[in-house]
Amino acid sequence: LLIVCLVLGAGLLIAVWLDFQSEARQQASEQARLMIQAGTAMRTYTENQIQPLIGVHRQSAFHKQWVPFYAAGQLFQYLSGSFLGYHYREWALNPTNQSDRAVGFEADIINYFRANPDKMEWSGEEPNSVTGRSWVFAHPIKAEEECRKCHGSAADAPPKLVSMYGPINGFGWRRNEIVGAQIVSVPLSGALRITDRAFYVWLSSLAGIALLTLTTVGLARRFPGEPASKPSRVAVAADEITHEWSP
């Protein structure tokens, strides 16, 4: 019986600890979703309010500041100084700017979306992170018709873009092709520290309740209740007299 209790207790502790770990990852995922939504909002702002101002000047000039990819990345670049360990990048398998080329882990995420076009999210822990344990959250990026104005073919792209990045890379994107991904990295250390503290508080409370229960049971066994005392002689005599004088 003791062995069964120990096994069940260990199983309960492991299950609760895993639940707290899952809660930490869920918190990190919510933070990452918020970052991706902010990046998407910046891209939408650039597409809807900045690019229309360019109009006919697109073919005669090119500034990377009007590229949605670049605008979203710059937003988080300014924020990175205040939020260490939080990273937002938009990676592509075939970008014009080679600093945005996905390799290794990032390329694996993009290829996952390409192999599973119905999937709209990917999340997992980043292996070999240099900044400690990090939770990664990603959304796929599809090439829309607007993207193909610069990435369809080098001949149709703005000449300034071609002269800046060359005619080799970043072209040939097909409409609705998954060409990249928004990838956010969120540090797990803060969320794990909070959930670990909550787990230790829960464990301490459980141990305190168990100790109190064992102490109470031990005291009850050591000092059992006194049996009821026998009626005194005076009480017995008084009872007999009462019965004799009863009508």
The per-residue pLDDT for 234 is 47
- pLDDT at residue 172, rounded to an integer: 92
Q: Is the pTM of this model over 0.85?
A: no
For the segment 114-168, what is each residue's pLDDT rounded down to a tens digit?
999 999 999 888 765 666 678 899 999 999 888 888 898 888 888 888 888 899 9
Q: State the residue for tokens 């229309």.
A: 52
What's the pLDDT score for residue 236? 47
Whole-number pLDDT of residue 13 = 65
- The mean-pLDDT minimum among 10-14, 92-96, 203-207, 241-245 falls in 241-245
Neighbouring C-alpha atoms within 13 Å toward the C-beta of 224: 4
Residue 62 has pLDDT above 80, yes or no: no
First vs last Cα of the chain: how many Å apart? 63
Query: What 3-state DSSP class applies to 82?
Result: coil
Between β-strands 122-125 and 178-187, what pairing exists: parallel, antiparallel or unpaired?
A: unpaired
Other Cβ atoms less than 10 A from the Cβ of 123: the count is 17
CA–CA dist 173, 153 (Å, integer): 8
Is the pLDDT reported for residue 92 higher than 60? yes
Comparison of pLDDT for 222 and 238, the residue scoring more: 222
Query: Mean pLDDT across the stretch 172-199?
Result: 80
